[in-house]
Amino acid sequence: MRRFRCTACGATTTVAPATVLTKRLYLASTMALAFVLLGVRHLAQRAVRVRLSALKTLGDGSSSRWDALLDWLNAVRERRLFPAVRTVPEGWPPWRIAERAATTLAALGPPALTPLEAAAFEGAARAG
């Protein structure tokens, strides 16, 4: 991603590849992979972050969680992200939301693509 500043007015704009979702700073496919790791493979949020986050330094408040991942899951719950995912029942924990999102996105991937990580990765790119 690149950020540009207007020399006349000082306004900035960020330019990213089309596969990066607006205001998310991550590829849809990366989000899907995070959902698989949390919801299906049952890795801890910290372990998911270590595998996928570009930021390797963790702040004190995020030593055991990944705020971006929780934001994505809330957006899925509210149907602002990946609206193809069925409505999530009230009270579901983050890992259950991730599981539903991961399996839905995998179903959108190419037929018979395995493992689930690859299918969800491709499905998210299509659903973007």
Name the amino acid, one letter, at 126. Answer: R
Residue-level pLDDT at 36: 98
What pLDDT was estimated at residue 66? 86
User: Residue type for 52, please?
Assistant: L
Angle (CA) 9 15 16, round 5°:
165
85-104 confidence digits (pLDDT tens): 999 999 999 999 999 999 99
Contact at 8 Å (CB) between 38 and 98?
yes
CB atoms within 10 A of CB 56: 7
- In the chain, how many H helices and how many E strands? 5, 2
Please check whether residue 97 is in contact with residue 108, taking contact to mean a CB–CB distance below 8 angstroms. Answer: no
pLDDT digit string, tens, across residues 45-74: 999 998 998 776 666 656 677 888 999 999
pTM of the model: 0.81
Q: Select the highest-mean-pLDDT range: 1-5, 15-19, 77-81.
A: 77-81
